[in-house]
Structure 1
Amino acid sequence: MALIIAGERSGVGKTTVTLALLSCLSRRYRRVQSFKVGPDYIDPMFHQRVTGRPCRNLDPVLTSEFYVQACFNRHLDGVDYALIEGVMGLFDGASGRDDVASTAHIARLLHVPVLLVLDCSRLSRSVAAIAQGYRSFDQSIQVAGVVLNRVGSDRHLELLQDALEPLQLPILGVLRRQDSLRIPDRHLGLVPTDELTFLFQLIDQLADIGETCFNWEYLLPLLKADRHDSTVNHQPLTPGVSQPITRIAIARDRAFSFYYQDNLDLLQKLGAQLVPWSPLGDTTLPAGVQGLYFGGGFPEVFAQELADNIEARQAVWNAIIQGMPTYAECGGLMYLCQEVTDFEEKSWSMVGILPTKAVMGKRLTLGYRQATALQNTPLVLAGEKVWGHEFHRSQLTATPKPPLFEIKGYEPKGKVSIEGWKMYQIHASYIHLHWGGKIEIPGRFLKYCQQFNSRS
């Protein structure tokens, strides 16, 4: 068994409740595995800092239903408790027309009960109508209980309890309004963990809240990790190592931190040695690397520091000019541009290998994308279709010629556009990819990297 944390809508406090539960469980038991529904990068960072274990994304659009089931079961091995953080409202799916890729979809797929978080800050008796509506909307979803969040006073709590009592729906947690408990955010969500100097104090505070705010006698049996017997366990998610060791330089610092742990695991299982380096602080690439991997992140926030590190930018330029295979997504794409213009309209020099500039703006580009490759790259073949996710506030000043991808939104009749760059041996795109559903992608990348090694 495990438990999935759902909200009646976005912003009700799912992440706070999840982190309070994880912090308390980790303080008591240590072996706790977390999961996150959807394509999010930042919430899993917080999970990992609390539990000491990489959080796993469960996303049937980016991967498949089979992969979600197999990934979940696989990572229950060797742990005591498991917790899944949902996405948006319980029934909010990728299209808004159904619940595909929603928290409810994952709950059904994995046969786990739901703990529903209710924002009670502006509610009293109406809380019962909301709770009953969510419990009865889909009879295949088991709502194990509710957490009352942002409760204002003892009198407020009494009104909420009286309203819910006829429903016989357990209240499994009560969190009071906590003005002092705030995780800072910015234009793409929470501020990542590496930037928070008070993170350990925050985790301790969350654990203290968790000790007193939840009904642990009821919750612990629900949270107990229980791997389901299923055919999904009989097929490996990743092949064994079949290639020689390949050294890949992976950009890991405050500017570049958006990576799916499953992608990194796939590379390592295929024979990659991932060598972390910092475009902010290192002046050279790690010795002997055969490929470059730039994930997403916040290069616009650290644009001046990236620009000031001229030696690192030149090292990346030289490696790419020499033909080193390079994968850059979103923030990594921005770093390879000529310039990044930040929110204050200041422009900063970047690597300059792509003949375009990245300009920050107010418009958020967000959503799942089906991308069809229009040419071969170190990751994809012309004509190949992949599912990815876009999430950025920058726009490029030039159109790639020829483009890497033709992209469509999740809706079948959505707008068609072009996107992405292929130059030298670069695959650069705004599209974030999870390789769990297409393990041939990392294998292809490593083969390109080995060919570079043989030439050098």
Structure 2
Amino acid sequence: MGLVIAGCRSGEGKTTVALALLSYLVKVGTLVQSFKVGPDYIDPMYHSRICDRPCRNLDPVLTGVDYVRSCFAHHCRGVNYALIEGVMGLFDGINRDNIPDFASTAHIARILSLPVLLVIDCSRLSGSVAAIAHGYRSLDPRVKLAGVILNKVASDRHLELLTSALEPLNLPVLGILRRQDLVSFPSRHLGLVNPGEIAQFRAIIDKLAFMAECCFDLSKILPLMQVSNPTEIANPLWSQITIPAIKPRIVIARDRAFNFYYQDNLDILQDLGAELIFWSPLEDTELPENIQGIYIGGGYPEVFAEELAANELAKEALKLAIAKGLTTYAECGGLMYLSQQITNFEQKSWSMVGILPTSTIMSEKLTLGYRKVETLRDNIILSKGSIVWGHEFHRSQITTPPVQPVFKINNHYEGWHIFRVHASYLHLHFGGYPKVATNFLKDGKPPYL
């Protein structure tokens, strides 16, 4: 079994509850595997930092339902507890395949037959909490609500009103978080600041663990999270693909500026035979030797644009390697790094690698959502006519659209295929499209450096 932490909506406190439970379990020395519903990169970084093991995304839009089941079963092997942090409100998903809440937290709970712990923000209600809890429990009887966590409780009197209202429902209150108990995390324009940038993160983990111990009914919550010898179901999709005879050396750009990667993507590349070499566009001045490709993921290049621009040796080394034919896969932040320049929120412009014939400008407009796209031309990862689902999440805009775009998204066109470069705002999960990974590795045949 395992436990799903859900909320009535975004901002209810489910991340705080999830991190508190993870912190407590790590503190007492037990193994716990965490998961995150949806395409998010940032919350999983917090999970991974606390647990010292990668958090896994569960997203049937990007990967399909079978992969969700396989991923959960595979990564629950050998651990004592499993916890899934939900996304948005419990039933917030998309209407697909005749399922009105496809890819919602409730959908994941149904797929995996797991109980749900509902976090309710009580800061602006008292007796109405019963109507909320009753509605969430009764809307879909297939979703088993194990109890509630009352968040932002103001006083003992407030708590009395809340618990009295809930009593007729016979729905267990498994945790109470007072307003003064809350732990806050710094944030920026795409969400929370990455945990690696928080100097006092260890102290925050200690406070979260103490909060779980004091504020939650762990005697009832932990048995719900307990894993008992999960059965592996279906081999991962990529295991059915032939591994290349030559082990390709692939560079992964990873540092404070670039860190939006699905761990499964990196694992799939390794399972297909790749040797991964981590490289920092911020700190390193030259590329590793004998490499066949580079993967530049998303992140916050706009925040670190001045530092990226100052590392001229790294930019020149990458530009030269790409000009010589280095296979390059760039998503979102990677696209920004390969452009001519980045203009940040303060309207300051910084020179980047300069491979793509466009610049990127930060704006207040948030581009966010799943995208069903058609591939318009052959490129290093997909053949013409391929249909894939991806996800966009950015506040930057390009200044010049591609003349020969790679993707059609409704009536919008985007993506570049230049030299052996694929650059797009679209994030893809290789679990849903293992051919993306195999094509990327096959394209980078000879070593270019």
Match of 2:226 in 1: 224
Distance 1:218 1:179 in 2: 21
**In structure 1, how many angstroms separate the alpha carbons of the residues matched to 2:226 and 2:44?**
20
Q: Which amino acid aligns with 1:91?
A: F
Measured against aligned partners, the alpha-carbon deviations of 1:379-423 in whole angstroms (never above 9, x if no partner) come to 111111111000000100111010011113xxxxxxx21010000
- CA deviations on 1:6-40 (whole Å, 9 max, x unpaired) are 00011001100000011001112331000000000
Aligned counterparts of 2:245 and 2:86: Cα–Cα separation in 1? 37
- The code of the aligned residue for 1:383 comes to G
> C-alpha separation between the residues in 1 aligned to 2:73 and 2:176?
30
Structure 1, residues 223-253: CA drift from partner, whole Å, max 9, x if none? 0013555xx7143443274432111111110
- Report the AA paired with residue 28 of structure 1: V
The aligned runs of 1:296-311 (5 Å cut-off) are 296-311=298-313
5+ unaligned residues in a row in structure 1: which ranges?
Answer: 409-415
> Contact 1:2 / 1:226 at 8 angstroms: preserved in 2?
no
Kept in 1, the 8 Å contact 2:295–2:328? The answer is yes
Q: 1:262 aligns with which of 261, 264, 286?
A: 264
Q: Give 1:413's aligned residue.
A: none
Task: Say which SS state the counterpart of residue 142 (structure 2) adopts.
Answer: coil
Deviation of 1:180 (Å): 6.3
Q: 1:21 maps to which residue?
A: 21
Q: Distance in 1 between matches of 2:86 and 2:246?
A: 39
After TM superposition, the score normalised by the length of structure 2 is 0.97
Cα distance per residue 1:60-106 (max 9 Å; x no partner): 00010000011001111000000000000000003599211100000
Matched with 1:452 is 446
Per the alignment, in what secondary structure is the counterpart of residue 182 of structure 1? coil
- 2: CA distance between counterparts of 1:59 and 1:348? 35
In the alignment, what sits opposite 1:433?
428
Structure 1 segment 119-158 matched on structure 2, within 5 A: 119-158=121-160
> Aligned partner of 1:226: which letter?
S
**RMSD, aligned α-carbons:** 1.5
* Structure 2 unmatched ranges of 5 or more: none
**In structure 2, what residue type is equivalent to 1:76?**
C
Correspondence list, 1:91-102, <5 A:
91-95=91-95, 98-102=100-104
Residue in structure 1 matched with residue 113 of structure 2 by the alignment = 111
1:383 counterpart residue number = 385
Q: Does 1:163 align with 2:158?
A: no
2:171 is equivalent to residue 177 of structure 1: no
Q: 1:440 to 1:243 in 2, by over 3 A?
A: farther
Q: 2:394 — aligned with what? A: 392
Contact 1:29/1:80 (8 A) holds in 2: no
Greater CA drift, 95-104 or 106-115: 95-104
**Over 6 Å off, 4+ runs:** none
Out of 109-118 and 435-444, give the one that drifted further.
435-444
SS in 1 for 2:100: coil
SS of 2:28 mapped into structure 1 = helix
Contact 2:4 2:84 in 1 (8 A): yes
Residue 114 of structure 1: CA displacement?
0.4
Q: Which residue of 2 aligns with 1:366?
A: 368
Tell me, in whole angstroms, the C-alpha distance in 1 between the residues paired with 2:141 and 2:11.
25
Number of aligned pairs? 445
Which secondary structure does the structure 2 equivalent of 1:98 belong to? Answer: strand
TM-score, normalised with respect to structure 1: 0.95
Within the candidate set 318, 323, 326, 1:324 is matched to 326
- Alpha-carbon distance between aligned partners in 2 of 1:79 and 1:242, rounded to the nearest angstrom: 32
